[in-house]
């Protein structure tokens, strides 16, 4: 906690709350930043507060002119969890009712077609050399293929170190991902071969602790860098984008990977009671519900196999409601 200095009447409670969340496996980084701002807010406006009143909660959660609805809901959710913590240790706290603020329409993941994937990757292969980012044209074709082919979260690929990429056996070691989980992810022979060729060009004198996909000054690629390149390739591949919050998104490569795997297995008449646990482990899901979510999505995206899916697995296909952020 040395990099965070909470202020105000709830400072010590906030620090203890964050430590507890981290102790049970949550990264709690974004939430810490929300609570840091909340502590500064209370230090300035409610410095004498002895309890978390309804007035303080609603004042903090009121929508800012510049923010999106989703961000207000996020701030409110973080404070609600903090209020629950205070209540649990005997401190009077107003607990905001769940769903108090209306949420935006949930995002339904975009599942790329095989043709769209081919066009997108073809555009990454044509990425030109630029002196400002001299390795960009080498990184992008491998980076995006890895996200799709291995079903990775963008952050998992961005933060890979050289030591995490076994080029002999073709296995990625994903360290401290969502909920601090780690896992091994085998790559296809084709992707492994691409990674070997890429390594020979980019990491001639690199250390094992360097990032596999380096950004500037030895740091990993930023989220913004990934997104701007993604939008450029998407446009050149003639894949329509619906605007902010509409997608397609980079994270949808992961969704597409899962759906394409399930479609392939269903058509091959594989026993999904055997294969779903494999997919769960491969993708780093914390629960079976996260994986079974893709059964519903697969049935909706590929109507030709929906009857077969629902006939064989009616009890494990959840309702498809979409998600607002980078969830599964």
- pLDDT digits 0-9 by tens, 192-217: 999 999 999 999 899 999 999 999 88
C-beta atoms surrounding 319 within 10 Å: 6
Per-residue pLDDT band for 26 (boundaries 50, 70, 90) equals confident
Q: What is the dihedral of CA 301, 304, 307, 308, to 10 degrees?
A: -100
The whole-angstrom separation of Cα 138 and Cα 124 is: 9
The CATH homologous superfamily of the domain defined by 114-236: Intergrase catalytic core (1.10.443.10)
Of 50-54, 91-95, 150-154, 310-314, where does mean pLDDT reach its minimum? 310-314
**pLDDT above 80 (res 319):** no
| Residue partners of 1: CB distance under 8 A and separation at least 6 | 15, 18, 19
Q: What was the pLDDT predicted at 217? A: 86
Of 7-11, 84-88, 231-235, 302-306, where does mean pLDDT reach its minimum? 302-306
Per-residue pLDDT band for 146 (boundaries 50, 70, 90) equals very high
The whole-angstrom separation of Cα 263 and Cα 258 is: 9
Per-residue tokens: 265: 């297995």
Q: What was the pLDDT predicted at 266? A: 83
> Which letter, b or e, does each residue of 75-85 get, where b requires 16 or more Cβ atoms within 10 Å of its Cβ?
bbbbbbbbbeb
DSSP 132-196: TBTTHHHHHHHHHHHHHHHT--HHHHHT-BGGGEETTTTEEEE-S-GGG--EEEEPPHHHHHHHH
Q: What was the pLDDT predicted at 98? A: 87
| Residue partners of 89: CB distance under 8 A and separation at least 6 | 13
Q: Compute the average pLDDT of residues 174-187.
A: 83
Q: What was the pLDDT predicted at 43? A: 95
The whole-angstrom separation of Cα 277 and Cα 275 is: 6
Q: Compute the average pLDDT of residues 118-133.
A: 94
- Tell me the pLDDT of the chain averaged across its residues: 87
The whole-angstrom separation of Cα 25 and Cα 22 is: 5
Q: Compute the average pLDDT of residues 43-60.
A: 96
- Residue 52 β-bridge partners: 93
**pLDDT above 70 (res 315):** no
Position with higher pLDDT, 305 vs 232 = 232
Q: What is the dihedral of CA 313, 262, 232, 119, to 10 degrees?
A: -130
């Amino acid at each position: 906690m040395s990099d965070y200095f909470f202020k105000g009447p709830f400072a010590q409670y906030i620090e203890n709350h964050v430590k507890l969340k981290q102790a049970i496996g949550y990264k709690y980084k974004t939430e810490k930043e929300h609570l840091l701002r909340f502590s500064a807010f209370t230090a300035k406006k409610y410095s004498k507060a002895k309890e978390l009143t309804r007035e303080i909660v609603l004042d903090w959660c009121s929508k800012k002119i510049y923010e999106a609805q989703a961000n207000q809901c996020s701030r409110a959710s973080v404070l609600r969890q903090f209020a629950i913590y205070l209540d649990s240790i005997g401190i009077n706290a107003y607990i905001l009712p769940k769903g108090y603020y209306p949420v935006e329409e949930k995002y339904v993941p975009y599942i790329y077609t095989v043709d769209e994937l081919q066009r997108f990757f073809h555009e990454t292969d044509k990425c030109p050399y630029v002196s400002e980012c001299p390795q960009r044209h080498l990184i992008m074709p491998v980076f995006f293929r890895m996200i799709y082919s291995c079903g990775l979260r963008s952050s998992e690929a961005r933060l890979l170190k050289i030591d995490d990429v076994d080029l002999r056996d073709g296995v990625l070691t994903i360290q401290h991902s969502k909920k601090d989980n780690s896992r091994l992810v085998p790559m296809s022979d084709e992707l492994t071969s691409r990674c070997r060729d890429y390594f020979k060009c980019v990491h001639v004198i690199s250390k094992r602790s360097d990032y596999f996909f380096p950004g500037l000054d030895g740091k990993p690629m930023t989220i913004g860098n990934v997104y701007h390149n993604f939008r450029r390739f998407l446009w050149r591949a003639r894949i329509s984008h619906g605007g902010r919050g509409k997608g397609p998104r980079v994270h949808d490569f992961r969704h597409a990977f899962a759906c394409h795997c399930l479609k392939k297995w269903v058509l091959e008449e594989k026993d999904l009671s055997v294969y779903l646990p494999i997919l769960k482990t491969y993708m780093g899901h914390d629960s079976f519900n996260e994986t079974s979510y893709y059964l519903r999505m697969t049935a909706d995206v590929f109507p030709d196999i929906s009857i077969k899916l629902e006939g064989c697995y009616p009890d494990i296909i959840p309702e498809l409601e979409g998600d607002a952020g980078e969830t599964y």
